[in-house]
Amino acid sequence: MTLASMNIEQARFNMIEQQIRPWDVLDPAVLQLLAIVKREDFCPPALRALAFVDMEIPLGGQPGEVMLAPRVEARLLQDLAVQKHEKVLEIGTGSGYMAALLAHRGQHVDTLEINPELARTATDNLSRAGVYNATVHTADGAAALPVKGPFDVIVLSGSVAQVPAALLALLKVGGRLATVVGQEPMMRATFVTKRTDTASHSTQPWDTVAPRLLNFPEPSAFRF
């Protein structure tokens, strides 16, 4: 092992121990996965040195096109508890890192990216990482979708003003949706479990902030 690779592994270890564990990510399988899937390989080459820093990494496109902070990705992954038989839909592929993590946990991941250039990059990243059970689609997750449900798990890798009803309709009974809901500076991670075709249960167990996903409805700015 070269000095450079030793430094990378130390940085990865520090990320897990100093950022992710303190955020109550304690599932051994999740922690092991974070050690195996090389986050730096999903960063833009010029920003690889930031792969393990507690921050969002810009992906070179429009404002808000980022890799989420490692602790947010890890906590979402843990709290969703994706199982090997489950089909997953992700909205907001970005660089493909979250899709890679989800693919290691589930049966198959369909992931939607509105930016064609990012979609191509994510496809390449996933292929280089040997992830073959994730399919990147160039599509707007707020519009008509190119994939058919139902899904066991839906992940929005960004924030919305409210949980989209159209995506909830794509969940199987017993399925889970995760996203970040609210307005800056106060947003909450939101997990919705579909209990029946007409009823669901929602929890908001932790606070965070994430960039907006494009084209999902915003509350009216009109005030009396």
Collapsing DSSP to helix, strand or coil, 119 comes out as helix
Here the CATH number for the domain that contains residue 30 is 3.40.50.150
184 in any annotated domain: yes
214 in any annotated domain: no
Closest CA to 178 of 194, 187, 191: 191
pLDDT tens by residue, 144-154: 999 999 999 99
The H or E element spanning position 172 is: strand 171-183
97 in any annotated domain: yes
Report how many domains make up the chain: 1
69 in any annotated domain: yes
215 in any annotated domain: no
222 in any annotated domain: no
- Domain residues for 183? 3-208
Average pLDDT, the chain: 95
pLDDT higher than 60, residue 101 = yes
Look at residue 143 in the predicted model and tell me its pLDDT. Answer: 95
Please state the rounded mean pLDDT for residues 156-172.
97
Which residues are 91's β-sheet partners? 112, 156
69-107 core/surface letters (b: 16 or more CB in 10 A; e: else): bbbbbbbbbbbbebeeebbbbbbbbbbbbbbbbbbbbbe
Question: Structure pTM?
Answer: 0.95
154 in any annotated domain: yes
β-sheet with 171-183: strand ranges across:
134-138, 108-113, 87-91, 151-160, 171-183, 186-194, 200-208
CA gyration radius, the chain: 17
224 in any annotated domain: no
* 90 touches 136 (CB < 8 A): no
